[in-house]
Each structure stands twice: as structure tokens, then as C-alpha cells.
Amino acid sequence: MRGRDLRLASRRIAVARALMLLAFAGLAARAAHLSVVDERGADRGEAQSRRLLTLPPARGTIVDRSGAALAISVEAPSVYAVPSRIDDVDGTAAALARVFGAKATALAARLRGHPSFLFLERWVSPEQARRVRTLALPGVGVLREPRRVYPYRELAAQILGFVNIDAVGVRGIEQQENRWLRGTARRLPAERDARGRLLVSGGEERWSTAGGDVALTIDAALQADAESALHEAVARTGARGGVVISMDPRSGDLLALAELPGFDPNRFRELDYDATRSRAFLDAAEPGSTLKTFLIAAALEDGVIGADDRFDCENGVFEFPARPSATTTLTASSPHSRSCVSRATSARPRSRAPWDPGRTTRCCAASASERRPAAASRTSRRACCAPGADGSPSTTRRSRSARA
């Protein structure tokens, strides 16, 4: 009886040993398949133990013509969380809500919705960062990241633009020269230990490429004076806004460009995007009489006219052929120049006599066509107006007709 029990026990041990050997053989075969045949296993193992860290470069500085910094980058603290390492989500959210002045339920919902990594608050104050470190909450930490700062606040804001939360230039020079200012990021391989801590071993790229600096032709002192004068003019006239442009006539350098309304690029998250545009560059405006200066300058440069040439502009009034079916009278008045139509009348002649090209009508010259009514919509091409040599209007007639 005893010998029979021993034989049964021996058989059971042999069967268990064979099953264990088969199980180990199956596991070894599967491991060999994953590591040799199927590359996904090797990739998954590599991803769990190693990763590539991307370190952002330092963004370049924007300076004025004398080297004064208009836009710089500083290190600002931000609070992050790894929810998979947080045991008490509600308690952690309640503690952080007291620091940030936020709702605990909203923070808890964010922590439950992101299992890996998320920023809880970007660019917090040093006091808030200190309080978070003092709490020593599991899965919550503070890191420093670059933040764009504009020391002079509203000064030349439309020219500079701003950088958003992801370090991308928006508006102005920050957007136009974003690639040059941003530079190239540095990438470092790192290994993760059993506790999830990163061990940086070295860099694949030996040097990181920092962003380049940009020097403007703007003079900060002259820009401040222009903005101050524009503020006074807008307040005095009750205007909705204004633009002041100052240039060096010898080189064409832009020395100052003041605009109102302005904005503070340091607080871009509180602003309406449309309110940050540069009206001097993006808005269309009629040049008006200021264009005459450039026209005369171009004529002088090409030698078409001389500096001592004089022109008879007929004392602001000149004559031209009227329409066959009507007599048109246009009168202009303006405190600075005769360029604004104040009256336009049209009267049908009493008889239907053949139209005489020699018959003329007096008219102010500058911009009568801009606002005349339909009754005076067809006139002949007008000439430049100015007083004649004797102070009387010139009698020169221009018979070349054109539709205004």
C-alpha cells in the first residue's frame, strides 16, 4: 500500500515538472518571437525605458537702434501634474484650488481626464510656486519654462507683436521673424528607472542653437515722445484713434510709429486678437493731399520739373466745356484748400440750340468729382487749379472730354 502511494506521488511530480517545462518553453518561444521576429516588442520595451527630451532654446532679444531691449525672455514657473501618480485626486484638487483661486471640482475633472501629464497653471507667480512646493503633493511639481516679457509694456506694441503660450510669435516682428528668433531646439536621450525618474546620459546634438537677436530702426525715446503726443492729441480732439509715423528722410529708417488704441503685449491672453493689429500696416487709408508731396518729389527727381518752376493754377477756379444738355456749376470751399464740393446744380437750357464746345462752366478743381451728385456726374477732365499771374482765373479751355 505504501509503495503504491509513492508511485502515484512520483507520477504527479513528473507531470507537474513536464507542465512547468512546457510553460517555460512557451514563454521562451514567445520572448524570442517578440525580440527577434516581431519588432513591436522591442519598440515597446525601448519606449518604456527610454525617451527623447526636447529642450527649447532661448528666444532672441528684440532691441531698438541704440540697443535698448524691447522684448526679452525670462524663466517663469509653471505647475504640472501626473495624475497616474496621484492617489487622492479630490484632496489634491482641493489643496491646489486654494493656491490658484480656482474651483476644486474643475481641477479634479482635469486630473481625471488626463492620465499621463498636464499643465495645471502656466506662468504662475513665485509665491504660488513656493506654496505648491511646500504642499509636496504626490504627482504634482513645478518646472521653469521660458516666458516672453516686454519691459516697456505698451511701447511700440503694434510693431513688436507678442509671443503666445506655446512660444510662437503672433503679430508684428515676433511673427515675421519667428523662425530667426525662436532658434533650434536641443534633443537629449534619457533613460527611465524603475521609479519613473529620468536619467539624462548625453546629447545627440552637441550644441543647441539659440535664437538670434533682431535690431530695429525704432528709437525708444522718440517712440515714447510720439506716443505721448498722440495721447494728448486724441484726448484733445475726442478721436477714436490715431497714427504717428516718423521717418529719417535721408535713409528711410522708421524712427517711431505710434498707434492708438494700444495694448499691453504682456497681457495678450486678456486681449481680443483683432484689437492687436497694426492699423498703420494693415488698414487702408486715402492719402489725400499728402500724396502731392511725393508726386512733386518724384517729378523733381526725374528732372521733369525744376525747383524754380511756377505753375498757374487759376486761383482755384478754372473753366471747361459744359455738357450739351445742361449747364453745370460746381463750387468748392475748405478752410485749408479748395478741394471740397459744397454746391452742385444742374439746369436744363431754355432752348435746344446745338451744343457749342466753346461754352464753358466755372468749377473748382481739386476733388469736385469725389462728392458731386448725379446731376453733375459727367464733366470734362479738369486741370490743376491755382491763381494766375494777374490774380484772375485763366481762360484756357480744355476740350478733351472724359467720363468722371
Q: Is the pLDDT of residue 32 over 60?
A: yes
Strands 242-247 and 341-347: unpaired
Considering the domain boundaries, does residue 165 fall inside one? no
Please tell me which residue, 346 or 151, carries the higher pLDDT value: 151
pLDDT for 224-248, tens place per residue? 999 999 999 999 999 999 999 999 9
Same domain, 140 and 102: yes
Considering the domain boundaries, does residue 177 fall inside one? no
Residue 68, Cβ neighbours under 10 Å: how many? 14
What pLDDT does residue 286 have?
76
What pLDDT does residue 202 have?
54
pLDDT for 249-263, tens place per residue? 899 899 999 999 999
Q: Cβ distance 368 to 330 under 8 Å?
A: yes
Same domain, 274 and 310: no
Considering the domain boundaries, does residue 374 fall inside one? yes
Considering the domain boundaries, does residue 160 fall inside one? no
Considering the domain boundaries, does residue 174 fall inside one? no
- Residues whose CB is less than 8 angstroms from the CB of residue 257 and which lie 6 or more positions away in sequence, other chains included: 156, 158, 159, 218, 223, 226, 243, 244, 245, 246, 278, 280
Q: Is the pLDDT of residue 74 over 60?
A: yes
Q: Which residue has the cell 484726448?
A: 235
Tell me the three cell numbers of residue 380.
Answer: 470734362
Q: Provide DSSP, 113-177.
A: H-SS-EEEESS--HHHHHHHHHHT-TTEEEEEEEEEE-TTTTTTHHHH-EE-TTS-EESHHHHHT
Same domain, 189 and 257: no
What pLDDT does residue 114 have?
77
Rounded mean pLDDT of 17-45?
A: 77
Residue 293, Cβ neighbours under 10 Å: how many? 10
Q: Provide DSSP, 192-237.
A: E-TTS-EEE---SSSS-BPPPPEE-S--HHHHHHHHHHHHHHHHHH
Considering the domain boundaries, does residue 112 fall inside one? yes
Same domain, 234 and 260: yes
Same domain, 357 and 267: no
| Alpha-carbon span 138 to 120, nearest angstrom | 14
| Alpha-carbon span 67 to 264, nearest angstrom | 21
Q: Average pLDDT over the chain, rounded to whole?
A: 75
Considering the domain boundaries, does residue 178 fall inside one? no
Same domain, 361 and 323: yes
Strand partners, 169: 163
What pLDDT does residue 336 have?
44
Q: Is the pLDDT of residue 208 over 70?
A: no
Domain count, the chain: 4
Q: Is the pLDDT of residue 1 over 60?
A: no
At residue 234, φ and ψ (nearest 5 deg) are -65, -40
Angle at alpha carbon of residue 98, lines to 93 and 103, rounded to 5° = 60
Same domain, 209 and 225: no
Q: How many CA atoms lie within 13 A of 22 on its CB side?
A: 6
Structural domain span for residue 258? 220-282
Same domain, 317 and 275: no
What pLDDT does residue 53 have?
67
Considering the domain boundaries, does residue 44 fall inside one? no
In the listed set 282, 316, 336, which residue is the last one of a domain according to the structure? 282
Same domain, 105 and 132: yes
Q: Is the pLDDT of residue 400 over 80?
A: no
Same domain, 268 and 318: no
DSSP letter (8 states) at residue 35: I
Q: How many CA atoms lie within 13 A of 134 on its CB side?
A: 8
Q: How confident is the model at residue 165 (pLDDT cuts 50, 70, 90)?
A: confident
Same domain, 78 and 210: yes
Exposure string (b/e) for 94-127, b if CB count within 10 Å is 16 or more?
ebbbebeeeebeebbebbeeeeeeeebbeebeee
What pLDDT does residue 41 have?
59
What pLDDT does residue 30 have?
80
| Alpha-carbon span 388 to 317, nearest angstrom | 10
DSSP letter (8 states) at residue 304: S
The residues that are catalytic are 289
Same domain, 238 and 382: no
Using alpha carbons, select from 295, 236, 237, 283 the residue that is nearest to residue 259: 283
Q: Cβ distance 130 to 238 under 8 Å?
A: no
pLDDT for 91-125, tens place per residue? 999 999 999 988 999 999 999 887 778 889 888 99
Strands 317-321 and 360-364: antiparallel
Amino acid found at 105: T
